[in-house]
Every structure is written in C-alpha cells, then in structure tokens.
Chain A
Amino acid sequence: MIDVEFRITAERREGLLLELGRIVMNCGYTLLRPRTAHTDEGVLLTLAVRGPERNLSTLSERLSTHPLAQSFESSMLGGKASAPPIAPVQQPRQAARADEAYIREVEALLPELARHFPKVLPLVVGFEREISPEYLDEASRYAGTRLGAWMFKRDYALGARMNLADSVKQIALPAMRSLRSCELVDGALVVKDSPFCGTGLHHGASCHFLRGCLEGLLNEPGHLGTLHVEETTCRNLGAARCTFTFTPVD
C-alpha cells in the first residue's frame, strides 16, 4: 500500500470532490484527507489517498484527464521513503471523451434548470430521453449534484452548520420537497412518485438525478466530509417507494 497526494485545480468546486472521490474509490484507494482551497487559478483540491501501488498509474491517468481537472500534480507521501516521488507534471488534457461530452450536455441543461426552478423534473426526464444511454446515469447524477449545490448556496447556506441527521431534516428535506413530495422515514428520505421510474430508460434504480441533488445539497457546506447517497429501494425495481440513505465516505 502507498500513500499519495494529488493536487488538482479546477474551475469550479461543485461536484469536484464527489466526482474525483468516486474515481479514487473505483481504483481501490481510500481517501485520507480531502481539502479544497480557492486560488487565483480556481479551486485547488488536495487529495491524500492510500491504496495499491499497481493501480497508481491508472488512478493518476483518470484523475489527470478528468474533464473537471485543469491541472494535475502528484507526489508520494511519507509512508514509503524509498519510492521515488512522482514528478510534478502538468498533464495535457486528452481529447474529448465520453464523460467530457456528458459534462458539456449537462452544462447546457443547467441554465434551463435555474430558469424553470423549481419545476425542473420534467426537463430532466426530457434530458434523460435525449442523452446517450452510455453515460445516462452519470450525467443525470452530475446534473443533480450541480442543482443541489446551487439550491444550497441559494436558499440554505445561511444558518448553523448541523450534523448529518439535522442537515437531512432541515436542508435536504425542504429542498427536495420543493421538487417533489417526500418525507423522512427513520433517517432515510422517501419519494413516493419519482418521475424517473417507469420511463423505460433505466434497468436498475433510476433516480440518479435525485441522488445527485441530495449529494449536492449535503456535500456543498463541506463540514460533513464527503457523503455518499444510496438509493436503497426504487419504484423502477418494483418497490412501493424510492428510498435514499446517507453514508459518510471518510
């Protein structure tokens, strides 16, 4: 196992930690200390991670070529003194890839969501019908993350910093109610009639946009660490209601 620190600059903070954190975990690494700071170049995200050395090049390649990343540097952390430091490099951006394409499409959708807020769900269902099935889930979730972060900054940023349970009750619940009727049941958020179910677009759980909204709402304040939202039951899979649960990643 090795400890590595990545320093990534990006234009915007929304969804950055979530997106890159997911890549880190998919490569078998654990996030140790994520930190964000604002710089003249944009947002600097510093990720200290621990994981198998054999996956390091894959992880570095995926982080450095992520569409949100503008610059990328990495270096070994103390644990393995004999290992040579990875030279700080400014990686060239690779040609457009599938995820870059969906981010462009989401960026085009976002102003429409802001304009029609809170009546945005029909727009997102329409967006899901038009977007390539290859990256439908990711695109929908990313759009949700951006809308959730925007809702937080717009209507919920002022006031106390609360623990997870209170944040779900005082921020996530009223914010999601502005989009769709929902309630809290044993700490989980339950949506009775998600419009993303039964559209024929998804084979598994279908409410990626709502998951993203919740992640954006709860991750934007920053003091809760990184939260992962799971859709544990979905009407698209035959359940009576769609249920979302919340788990801290680190």
Chain B
Amino acid sequence: MNAHLIHCELDPLLAALSYAVSVLGSFTALQLAIAIPVAPAGMARTKAILAAGAAMGGGAIWAMHFIAMLACKMAIPVTYDLGLTALSAVIAIGSCMAGLAIVGNGVFTPLKLAGGGLLMGVGVAGMHYTGMMAMQMPASLTYDMNIVAISVGIAVIASIAALWLAFKMRGTLPMLASALIMGVAVSGMHYTAMEAAQIQHDGSHGVATGIEAGDFGLAIFLIVALLLGVVLMITLKRQQQRAQIQI
C-alpha cells in the first residue's frame, strides 16, 4: 500500500441522498421526456427537449455528482475550478438533450434507443470525469482504466434500460422503475468511477483557490426544490388535462 494514497471516506447518509436526488431528477426528466414524441414539431418539441434534458443533466446527474463529492471525505483540502465545473454541467445537459431528442423523435426503434442511451450514458460519464478534472487539491489523480470502462458501461446500459421503460411502457409504475434504474445508471457510474480513481498526495502544500464543495449546497438545494416543484406542477397539470378529455 502506498503511504501517500488518499482515501475517500464515504458519508452513507449523503451517499443515499445523492442516489435519491438522481432518482428524483430522473423521474422529473422522464415525465417531461415522454411528452417529446407527442409535442408538435417546432418550438413546442424543442421546449420539451430542453426541459427534459436540463432536468436529467442538471438534476439527475450534475446535482447527484456534487452531493456524492460532498459525501466523500478526504484528508486534504479540495476545491473546484469554476470553468470546468460549469463545463461538466453543460456536457451532462447537452448529451441528455441529444439522447432524449433521438429517442423521442418519430417512431421508436431499437437503433434510436441504443443511440439515445449511448449518448446519455457517455454524457453521465463525461460529466463525472470533467467534474473530477475540476478538482483542485495538493494531490495527483490517476485512473484504473479497466474500472473506468466498466463505469461507462454501467452508465450506457442502465440509460438504455431506463429509456426503454420510460418511453415504451405506459403508467406511473414503469416510470418509477425507470427513474430508479436511471438513478442506478448515474450513481452506479459515479461510485464505480470513484473506485477507479487513485488520489496520491504530491507533497505540495498549494492553497486551493476554487470553489469549495460546500459552496454548491445552495445550488443543489435550488435544483432539488425546482425538481420537486416541476414534478408537482406536471402531476397537477396532467390530472387536469386528463379530467378534461371528452369522450
């Protein structure tokens, strides 16, 4: 065992919270996403894609990642580079929008499902590894590439399963199952990727100058509150619409 290897001690409560946020974000995003195929082409469909992609990328993936990083207690000071952190959010949101647009456009086919799931899975992984690159600490970060490959595989396969359930099956239970699976895609990928990371103290005493993980608390709170608000709004609106449908 290398004496300079730095370990991550996981706070189980925050780790569980990170999974819960990824499920909530996925549930919200998939509720929005199932409206994509029936939205009229043009502005309405673009809005549906933007909303679903933002909820999935920003809520299920980005917020989950930073709660999980808060759950990881390390014996060195860690801050985050603002630019790379913002880029990680853009990657997550952009890839989710692209993936959902592919799956939601036209008649559903296995090829579209594979393409959409691949984009979303790679987006989850891209967000994570960019977020890790944003870490500023007196340590070097290397990866076991075999475990990295496994983490990307988990993200892609679980994304495909989640999209299949959400788009093909109808009703609340399949949607909940889909969100739980998407939560596995995001969290499973994250914690597997953390196993791949080897953080070694490089002997420096450099002062970290970026944003501290704790500073993300307010942003994460706002995202979670927004997700809950959107879920409530969608539920009420769809109940109203359902009641107004004339036979």
Contact = CB atoms under 8 A, between A and B. Distances in A.
Contacts of B245: 150, 153-154
Contact of A110 (B104, B167, B242, B247): B247
Nearest to A149: B247
Nearest to A150: B247
Interface stretch (A90-98, A132-140, A156-164): A156-164
Nearest to A147: B247
Nearest to A153: B245
Nearest to A155: B170
Interface string B87-111: 0000000000000000110111100
A171 B108 contact: no
A162 B108 contact: yes
A32 interface: no
A244 B222 CA distance: 52
Nearest to B164: A160
A158 B170 contact: yes
Interface of A: 110-111, 113-114, 146-147, 150, 153-163, 166, 170-171, 174, 223
Contact of A146 (B103, B168, B242, B247): B247
A163 B107 contact: yes
Given A110-B247, A161-B107, A161-B108, A154 B242 contact: yes
A160 B247 contact: no
B27 to A, nearest CB: 14
A141 to B, nearest CB: 16
B38 interface: yes
Q: Which 4 A-B pairs have the closest CB atoms?
A: A160-B108, A160-B167, A150-B247, A158-B34
Contacts of A113: 247
Q: Is the interface of A mostly helix, strand, loop or mixed?
A: helix
B247 A170 contact: no
Nearest to A156: B170
Interface residues of B, number: 20
Contacts of B106: 161
Contact of B170 (A110, A153, A161, A170): A170
Contact of A170 (B37, B107, B109, B168): B168
Interface of B: 34-35, 37-38, 103-104, 106-109, 166-171, 242, 245-247
A174 B35 CA distance: 20
Contacts of A166: 108, 168
B37 A161 contact: yes
B247 A159 contact: no
A182 B170 CA distance: 18
27 contacts: A110-B247, A113-B247, A147-B247, A150-B245, A150-B246, A153-B245, A154-B242, A156-B170, A157-B38, A158-B35, A158-B170, A159-B34, A159-B166, A159-B169, A160-B103, A160-B104, A160-B168, A161-B106, A161-B107, A161-B108, A162-B107, A162-B108, A166-B168, A170-B170, A171-B170, A174-B170, A223-B107
A114 B107 contact: no
A158 B48 CA distance: 12
A246 to B, nearest CB: 16
Nearest to B109: A163
A223 B109 CA distance: 14
Contacts of B170: 155-156, 158-159, 170-171, 174
Contacts of B37: 158-161
Nearest to B31: A158
A158 B38 contact: yes
Nearest to B246: A150
Contacts of B246: 150
The listed residue with most A CB atoms (<10 A of its CB), out of B103, B166, B168, is B168
Nearest to B113: A160
A76 B52 CA distance: 46
